[in-house]
Amino acid sequence: MLTIPFMDQIWSSYEGRSACGWKLQSFLGPRGGRGFFVAQDAAGWNALVQIIPKGDEAAEAVYEGWRHGAKLSSEHLISVYETGETELSGDVPAYFAAMELPDDDIGELST
């Protein structure tokens, strides 16, 4: 996994910016090299957006997992709305997944 110092400050600096067609409204925290945000698209849909910088095989594996997960459908799974590639600040290539906001506290789900 790509390691970047001061990850909290870097991720939180993206609050209020647009990435991958979603406005990153609030930074929820980092986990496993990823940044988690509550985001909204142009139509007003809210989602949980995960972003992971490209750069190693682990990021590729996470992205492939998101892509395959987007094909699944069950009332017991969080829906993945969209996956793709983006650039943060115009120069940091990254993968993203926009998914259904869970009803539970995201902090509890990610532990």
Residues paired with residue 18 on neighbouring β-strands, in sequence order: 23
State the average pLDDT over residues 82-101: 90
pLDDT value of position 111: 41
Computed over every residue of the chain, the mean pLDDT equals: 85
At residue 45, the 3 state secondary structure works out as coil
17 within 8 A of 64, measured Cβ to Cβ: no
Q: What are the tens digits of pLDDT across the range 57-88?
A: 999 999 999 999 899 888 888 899 999 999 88
For residue 21, what are its two tokens?
Answer: 């067609």
Rounded CA-CA distance 39/61 in Å is 23
Q: What are the tens digits of pLDDT across the range 17-54?
A: 888 889 999 999 888 889 999 999 999 999 999 999 99
Q: For residues 69-94, b (16+ Cβ closer than 10 Å) or e, as one string?
A: ebeeeeeeeeebbbbeebebeeebeb
Q: What is the pTM of this model?
A: 0.82
Rounded CA-CA distance 9/12 in Å is 5
Rounded CA-CA distance 12/35 in Å is 9
Look at residue 99 and tell me whether its pLDDT is greater than 50. Answer: yes
pLDDT value of position 37: 95
